[in-house]
């Protein structure tokens, strides 16, 4: 009997619908993300591994005088996210196709950055966190959330080590039943 093993790397665009499933909110939905991220209304926010934009609508609406930058390595995922944003009338969002380890964005640009169920999929999570540190403004916040059942999720201890090595200061860890989040500052 053949089994399917998930390998590290981004979810294929053909499976993007799984990332938009409404039951995902039971693990770590947009309201939980906004509670943990707490962006100011004029914040510049970076979303890494945006996929089809599951969190994007809520975050863009939470920063009406700011801007959300969606980054994904797959242009097809960004196309899906852009269509969702356009259909919802969201105009304060930019889509950028880039690798999380080399964003090509100016240093000290963002007030906040977040990754949900993404960091463990990357070939070099440490390099990604150093790049996030580079683009965060002094005092800017990073939120990383992981969900139970994700085969690529990082453990809290590993993420603590990676965050410290990237020059970020741990603020808190929030452990939920089906997900956990870690917040750090630049």
Distance of CA 118 to CAs 51, 91, 121, 170, Å? 10, 25, 5, 19
Task: Spell out the residues 6+ positions from residue 61 whose beta carbon is closer than 8 angstroms to its own.
Answer: 90
Q: 98-118: per-residue pLDDT in tens? A: 999 999 999 999 999 999 999
Architecture of domain 25-185: 3-Layer(aba) Sandwich (3.40)
Tens of pLDDT, residues 133-173: 999 999 999 999 998 888 889 999 999 999 999 999 999 99
Listed by start position, the domains of the chain span: 25-185
Rounded distance, CA 133 to CA 35, Å? 22
Write out pLDDT tens, residues 56-95.
Answer: 999 999 999 999 999 999 999 999 999 999 999 999 999 9
């Amino acid at each position: 009997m053949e089994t399917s093993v998930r390998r590290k790397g981004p979810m294929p665009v053909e499976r993007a619908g799984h990332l938009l499933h409404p039951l995902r909110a039971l693990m770590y939905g947009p309201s939980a993300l906004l509670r943990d991220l707490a962006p100011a209304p004029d914040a510049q926010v970076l979303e890494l591994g945006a996929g089809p934009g599951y969190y994007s609508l809520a975050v863009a609406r939470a920063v009406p005088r700011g801007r959300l930058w969606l980054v994904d390595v797959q242009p097809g995922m960004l196309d899906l996210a852009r269509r969702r944003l356009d259909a919802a009338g969201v105009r304060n969002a930019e889509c950028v196709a880039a690798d999380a380890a080399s964003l090509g964005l100016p240093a000290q640009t963002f007030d906040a950055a977040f990754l949900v169920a993404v960091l463990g999929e990357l070939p070099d999570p440490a390099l990604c966190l150093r790049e996030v540190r580079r683009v965060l403004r002094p005092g800017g916040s990073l939120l990383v959330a992981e969900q139970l059942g994700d085969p690529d999720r990082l453990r809290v201890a590993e993420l603590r080590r990676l965050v410290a090595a990237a020059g970020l200061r741990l603020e808190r860890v929030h452990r939920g039943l089906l997900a956990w989040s870690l917040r750090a500052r630049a």
